Structure 1
């Protein structure tokens, strides 16, 4: 695959992960805000949950850093890096 093709594929995957991270963060925050608005949880617990949401969103976004070729070669069982990486 050409370098331009690889760059386009990487950018598409990165944007997909970024979109997923944002949507997951928003969805969890909305649920927590609805719960908090009815007084089910105290404000301090809501603040702690917000930190958990931030952490989950950041960890989800870190998926974009995973080298897909290396993961594929590891999961295929040969334990060697992809020839393009050599």
Structure 2
């Protein structure tokens, strides 16, 4: 039997390279490396370049993080500076012992 790893698909919506957007991406990368190392994909969508993509995930503010997989879909708005809130919001269980 083949062991299947859960790969987390995360989508970060930003509007240009604002301080909040850069902070959100840096925080997200750090949390993913600490808790999901090797099992995640981050897609960054700049709404200044692709404004039409905001409708698909019903984005009302930026930066917004959307967890697509595993379900359920979750959204977190802001610069993701509160690590505990982000981990709880995304339902990430640390692989650390």
- The answer, yes or no, to whether TM exceeds 0.5 is no
Question: Larger C-alpha radius of gyration, 1 or 2?
Answer: 1
TM-score, normalization: structure 2? 0.29
Structure with more helix by fraction: 1
Structure (1/2) with the larger strand percentage: 2
Instruction: Give the TM-score normalised by the residue count of structure 1.
Output: 0.32
Bigger relative CO (Cα 8 Å, ≥ 6 apart) = 2
